[in-house]
């Protein structure tokens, strides 16, 4: 397909330039804010999008003017042959701005290859720098593997962002430690407000801390200067330069200071459902269309256009005082 110059916009006039594509709902961790319940079943393998179908969806996304694609999970590296898929994706679309979100427990040994293939950045989920606390949050003692992966990613020249979910009373005593990490290395650290998404993710008001309160803790460790120019992608993080530091520190505030008016993303779940808003339970089934030879990508294009007409403002559909009976974050793709 040939990329068009017409920009994709939703019913509120927001430009859509970013696709989050979940390659699996499987993960080797059981983080308390994501998928803590062992009883939650994984999506059956026949219902998961095939790699060929994902390649077709990326082709359509490019044709619609979407320039940035992020592969998410679950844990992307938990899916077999993921490196082969990434190689196929970058071989077909070498100019694609492809990024990965990962818990990095299986990333070590791969950053140099990812950089050589053309992957531009990795977002690494790491909520603590303390080994015992990491095991308590995730259910697995894998922090050493994560730290190796961070070092390898920086050495390979990948842009590295570390995402930490702000959990009051659990990891907020480490904000200063994360600031010092960003001072020492050329990476971004972003604390994300704990969101009540999914069934049984242990969200409750006493575990929530606002982004502003996190920033106050960070300012106790270093002088921070807010960047006045947003990233080229118009992302949700408010980033700060650290005086004397190599990296940056930022916060993402979906609850206390929402950024819905500038949302530029679409999500496709591992089982092929289009989700126009993280907080909305409304989904549009794309997988049956892809597998129907009489419908295929032309019908998927139509469904995307129709879905975007009613893309909501997330803060209007989210009730932060309750945990909705909903799909787990690992199934949505974050």
SS (H, E, C) 142-193: CHHHHHHHHHHHHHCCCEEEEEEEECCCCCHHHHHHHHHHHHHCCCEEEEEE
- Tell me what pLDDT residue 93 has: 95
Closest CA to 311 of 17, 57, 6, 9: 9
pLDDT at 258 over 70: yes
- Tell me what pLDDT residue 56 has: 98
Region 119-129 average pLDDT: 98
Region 14-20 average pLDDT: 94
3-state secondary structure of 269: coil
Rg over CA atoms, the chain: 19
pLDDT at 253 over 50: yes
DSSP secondary structure of 279-333 = T----EE-HHHHT-TTTHHHHHHHHHHHHHHTPPPHHHH--TTS--S---HHHHT
CA dihedral 219, 238, 144, 122 (to 10 degrees): -160
Lowest mean pLDDT among 12-16, 67-71, 248-252, 278-282: 278-282
pLDDT at 1 over 50: no
- Ordered domains of the chain (ranges, CATH): 8-332 (3.20.20.70)
pLDDT at 324 over 50: no
Q: Is-contact 250 237, C-beta < 8 A? A: yes
pLDDT tens digit sequence for 62-96: 999 999 999 999 999 999 999 999 999 999 999 99
Lowest mean pLDDT among 54-63, 90-99, 247-256: 247-256
pLDDT tens digit sequence for 187-238: 999 999 988 765 555 667 888 999 999 999 999 999 999 997 644 445 789 9
- Tell me what pLDDT residue 312 has: 84
Q: CA–CA distance from 209 to each of 97, 166, 174, 204 (Å)? A: 33, 7, 13, 11
Q: CA–CA distance from 208 to each of 45, 172, 205, 212, 255 (Å)? A: 35, 10, 5, 12, 10
- Tell me what pLDDT residue 229 has: 60
């Amino acid at each position: 397909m040939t990329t068009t110059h017409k920009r994709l916009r939703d019913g509120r006039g927001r430009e859509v330039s970013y696709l989050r594509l979940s390659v699996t709902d499987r993960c080797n961790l059981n983080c308390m804010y994501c998928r803590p319940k062992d009883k939650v079943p994984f999506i059956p393998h026949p219902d998961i999008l095939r790699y060929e179908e994902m390649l077709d969806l990326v082709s359509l996304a490019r044709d619609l003017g979407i320039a940035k694609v992020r592969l998410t999970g679950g844990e992307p590296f938990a899916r077999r042959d993921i490196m082969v898929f990434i190689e196929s994706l970058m071989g077909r679309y070498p100019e694609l701005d492809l990024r990965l979100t990962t818990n990095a427990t299986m990333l070590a040994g791969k950053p140099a290859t990812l950089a050589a293939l053309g992957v531009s950045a990795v977002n690494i989920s790491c909520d603590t720098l303390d080994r015992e606390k990491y095991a308590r949050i995730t259910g697995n003692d894998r922090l050493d593997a994560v730290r190796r992966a961070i070092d390898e990613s920086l050495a390979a020249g990948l842009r590295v962002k570390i995402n930490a979910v702000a959990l009051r009373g659990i990891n907020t005593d480490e904000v200063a430690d994360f600031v010092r990490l960003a001072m020492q290395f050329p990476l971004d650290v972003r604390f994300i407000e704990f969101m009540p998404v999914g069934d049984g993710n242990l969200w409750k008001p006493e575990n929530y801390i606002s982004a502003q309160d996190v920033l106050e803790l960070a300012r106790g460790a270093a002088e921070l200067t807010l960047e006045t120019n947003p990233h080229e992608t118009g992302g949700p993080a408010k980033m700060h330069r650290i005086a004397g530091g190599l990296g940056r520190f930022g916060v993402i505030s979906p609850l206390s200071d929402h950024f819905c008016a500038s949302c530029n993303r679409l999500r496709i779940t591992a089982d092929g459902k289009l989700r126009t808003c993280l907080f909305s339970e409304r989904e549009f089934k794309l997988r049956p269309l892809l597998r129907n030879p009489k419908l295929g990508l032309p019908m998927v294009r139509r469904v995307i256009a129709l879905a975007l007409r009613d893309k909501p403002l997330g803060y209007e559909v989210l009730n932060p005082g309750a945990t909705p009976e909903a799909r787990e974050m690992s199934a949505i793709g974050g």
